[in-house]
Amino acid sequence: MKTLIIIRPDSVLRGLVGEILTRFEKHGIRIAGLKVMQLDKEIAGRLYEIHKGKPFYDSLLNTMIESPVVIAVLDTDVLDNQSAIALVRRIVGATDPSKAEMGTIRGDFGLRIDMNIIHASDSVEAAAREIPIFFRKEELVKYKC
């Protein structure tokens, strides 16, 4: 199973990248791809196309392009796709940091909903759509167990 996370600009600026990646690794989730990027509006628009037309869309794009992000493809072979996505989402926490449980990434580090630390694919279909926006197949490593 592979899924995508993006450590958002607010997290990168606060120096939380290592802490965030470590939380996934402690759960046996491996990093299959990793990049530091400065997103532009076109790429951010492709990522968040499902939100186009919503009141927060322009603000979301502007937040995502203001500073660098760290993009990772996470991989685990011990869970089926749905269970793996659910585990990643549980580690990440609720979208609104004020509603996220302590011990989750957003619960521990999130400041407000527009600075919610991390993007994580919310379904198998989303991961399949989002990963190719940032990574070619040959850029992702495969682990031998």
List residues with catalytic annotation. Answer: 119
Joined tokens for residue 137? 């197949």
Alpha-carbon distance of 100 to 112, in angstroms, equals 11
Joined tokens for residue 93? 């926490």
CA distances from 141 to 58, 96, 144 (A): 34, 32, 10
